[in-house]
Amino acid sequence: MLFLAFSLLSDSKHKNWLYISMILSLFSIISTNARGSIFSVPIILIASVVYLYHTIHLKIVALVSLSIILGFVCLYFLSGNFKERINFTKHEFSNIASGNIEKAVSSGGRLQLWKSATEAFKASPLIGSTYSKRECIIKKLHSKGDVTSWTEGVARGHAHSQYFEMLASNGLLGVIAISLILFAPSIYFFKKRKQVNNKIAYVGFLFVIGFIVYGLTEVPLQANLISSYYAFIVVTLVSLQENMVFRYRENNGKQKN
């Protein structure tokens, strides 16, 4: 919602509502203290700059970058919860770098789940492994000392990553699926940036990039409601983009005639 509102800002007749939507969405992100959501904000803003690199000035890029840095610095010193989450993350990364993965409860746990998912993929690289088989693989890894006992308590060996989850459960078919579901639409919208009314393509690009980023640490498309919402928005934006291009070409053809 934050980046949908952000991408619709320019030339909109409802800027006030969009600003309110952005503020409330950002407040929601900060309030939840979910690191995946917090860290996605600067990443998607960078993607926005990359998309618009041919139309924006370097001063604007520098200003946006400085604003992001100052914003996070202010949050760090003004918000106790935000500061606690950042310090917790630093502590976890320090433990991971030292090889004490078991002490990095959250990030280290995810790394172990990703390792387990990779082993499940190796066991059945074409079509992936079943949940029960993935749980057996985790037990074997634990018996060898490759993962901690914590991973055994995770139901179905859930990977906590869209990519590793599809790799483990669907194998190479999952790689093809995720490429078509996420990366193909992002490439499509990026290529449309120089066509007529690229506002639609810009909205679509940021929307898909958001899911690409969120998929690193979560499995958003596993939920039927979220995957249906994602598919509906992407199909709608593709249809609007193609219809806009068709009408533009049709009008140009009539003018030439």
**pLDDT tens column, 68-127:** 678 778 877 877 777 777 777 788 778 777 777 777 777 788 888 999 999 999 999 999
b/e sequence 135-163, b meaning 16+ C-beta within 10 Å: bebbeebbeeeebbeebeebeebbbbbbb
What's the confidence (pLDDT) of residue 29? 75
CB proximity list for 69: less than 8 A, separation 6 or greater: none
Q: What is the pTM of this model?
A: 0.81
CB atoms closer than 10 angstroms to residue 96 = 15
Largest CA distance in the chain: 76
What's the confidence (pLDDT) of residue 33? 66
Cα–Cα distances in Å, from 127 out to 56, 66, 176, 222, 251?
45, 46, 11, 17, 48
Average pLDDT over residues 31-37: 71
Statement: residue 240 has pLDDT above 80 = yes
Cα–Cα distances in Å, from 49 out to 43, 58, 63, 71, 192?
10, 10, 11, 18, 16
Average pLDDT over residues 46-52: 79
CB proximity list for 66: less than 8 A, separation 6 or greater: none
What's the confidence (pLDDT) of residue 222? 84
What's the confidence (pLDDT) of residue 172? 94
Cβ atoms of 202 and 51 within 8 Å: the answer is yes
Q: Is 171 left (phi over 0), alpha (psi -120 to 50) or beta?
A: left
Higher per-residue pLDDT: 90 or 211:
211
Q: What is the mean pLDDT of the chain?
A: 82
What's the confidence (pLDDT) of residue 60? 61
Cβ atoms of 220 and 211 within 8 Å: the answer is yes
